[in-house]
Chains A and B, each alone.
Chain A
Amino acid sequence: MAGDVKKIMFTVRKPPHGSIYVYEGLEVKLIMAAYDADISVVFLDDGVYAMKAGQDTSKLGIKGFEKTYGVLVDYEISKVFVDRQSMEERGLTEEDLLVIGEDEETEEPVRPKMIDSAEIAAMMAEQHNILCF
């Protein structure tokens, strides 16, 4: 039934913590991961801040989501990308990104992959659905 697997992309454009969008988006991703869908996640604009390592929300009195994003790969969500221009505009590099799991074979930490807008646009064109958070 491989042909029936839906390709679903999540785009995250909002910064974390100022609104509930990023958190809700994460919840939806984890729910969708329970279904047989081909999921990809793209962080762009201020959304790239959701992938920044070292988020400490304790003083805000909220749970935060770095730990949950840290196990995305365990939920079989490993197609996780950040937009290069959004990163560069904010002075961020791949080394600033949080770990989303570990490689099944090498056990190396997995981080979101930085790609260009043209690659993202090409991936968008292949999707059945795109959900924006």
Chain B
Amino acid sequence: MLHTVNKSPFQNSTLESCLRFVRPGDALLLLEDGVIAAAAGTAKSGLIEGALKKNLSVYAIDADLKARGLTTLTKGVQVTDYAGFVDLVEKFTMHAWL
């Protein structure tokens, strides 16, 4: 499964909900405001740290990170682009946590 989250973890509980339904081997792609979850050293960084420990692959869209000036990311988050997004969509069944 590929899960996508486009909301900040400070805005609502979408990411937390998503993480209740992920299974080991799943991928999580953070995009739009969702990339805020990838930032290191925030009060919400623990969500992604926990996800990585559960053997989840975590990706964040570089355009969204750059737009927000987010350069210090939680270790283990993989930065990707739209082509990488397409590769993930091709590989997995997707659930957009809108």
- A→B interface (CB under 8 Å): 11, 13, 44-45, 85, 117, 120-122, 124-125, 127-130, 132
- Other than the given A44-B17, A125-B1, A127-B93, 13 more pairs (CB < 8 A) read A13-B14, A13-B17, A13-B97, A45-B13, A85-B20, A117-B20, A121-B21, A121-B23, A124-B93, A128-B93, A130-B95, A132-B95, A132-B97
The interface size of chain B toward A, counting residues with CB under 8 Å, comes to 14
Separation of A54 and B86 alpha carbons in the complex (Å): 43
Smallest CB gap from B23: residue in A = A121
Which residues of chain A come closer than 8 Å to B70, judged between CB atoms? none
Which chain B residues numbered 1 to 44 have a C-beta less than 8 Å away from chain A?
1, 13-14, 17, 20-23
Separation of A127 and B21 alpha carbons in the complex (Å): 14
Per-position contact with A for B85-96: 1 when CB-CB < 8 Å, else 0? 000000001111
